[in-house]
């Protein structure tokens, strides 16, 4: 069995200046970064810093394959559903950004999962399918309701009846797969 890694990437707070509720935007992103702090979470500014960060983490791991990739950001549901990678908006029509994501295809394990922790993005199966295709057919998870965190706990919206949608290429189903485990400071104390 080949070595695998988990990568946690969070939208930077710079894009919050355009948000309707700037304080909520910044708070969510900082709390999400805190939640995954001991997992080595990092922020990215755009699609290219995302690709560079993921590539660097894979190379620094000695070439391990990605088992889990968590993308934490703000999102929006409905017909115009999107999430952000840094300041870049990713929706089903983001041809340039989705094409750029294909550069990461070789880095994923055969059974890899990508979790998009952005509110309501699970409402667009087309978006999740296109991300899956761009990343080489990995399983992509999106959530239909709001995602909340206080830095210590994380609610993906499924507790209150929301769904976790799992898409692989052209097929989507509901699932209840757990997010990658949150690391604690004890991991770093060893």
Q: Rounded to an integer, what distance in angstroms lies between the CA atom of residue 190 and that of residue 183?
A: 13
Domains annotated for the chain, with CATH where assigned, are: 4-189 (3.40.50)
Mean pLDDT over residues 171-190, rounded?
80
pLDDT tens per residue, range 66-99: 999 999 999 999 889 999 999 999 999 999 999 9
pLDDT in tens, 2-42: 799 999 999 998 877 666 677 778 889 999 999 999 999 99
Look at residues 116, 115, 107, 166 and name the one whose alpha carbon lies nearest to residue 135. 107
The residue among 188, 114, 146, 152 whose CA lies nearest residue 34 is 152
8-30 in b/e form (b: 16+ CB < 10 A) is: bbbbbbebbeeeeeeeebbbbbb
Largest CA distance in the chain: 47
Which pTM does this prediction carry? Answer: 0.94
């Amino acid at each position: 069995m080949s070595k695998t890694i988990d990568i946690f990437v969070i939208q930077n707070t710079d894009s919050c200046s355009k948000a309707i509720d700037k304080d909520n935007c910044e708070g969510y992103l900082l709390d999400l970064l805190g939640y995954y702090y001991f997992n080595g979470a990092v922020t990215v500014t755009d699609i290219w810093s995302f690709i560079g960060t993921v590539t660097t983490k894979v190379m620094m791991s000695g070439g391990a394959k990605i088992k889990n990739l968590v993308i934490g950001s703000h999102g929006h549901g409905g017909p115009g559903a999107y999430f952000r990678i840094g300041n870049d908006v990713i929706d089903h029509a983001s041809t340039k950004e989705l094409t750029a994501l294909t550069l990461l295809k070789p880095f994923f394990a055969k059974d890899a999962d990508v979790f998009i922790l952005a509110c309501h993005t699970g409402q667009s199966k087309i978006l999740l399918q296109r991300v899956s295709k761009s990343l080489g057919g990995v399983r992509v998870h999106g959530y239909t309701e709001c995602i909340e965190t206080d830095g210590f706990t994380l609610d993906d919206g499924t507790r209150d009846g929301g769904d976790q949608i799992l898409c692989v290429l052209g097929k989507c189903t509901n699932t209840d797969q757990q997010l990658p485990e949150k690391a604690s400071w004890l991991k770093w104390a060893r």
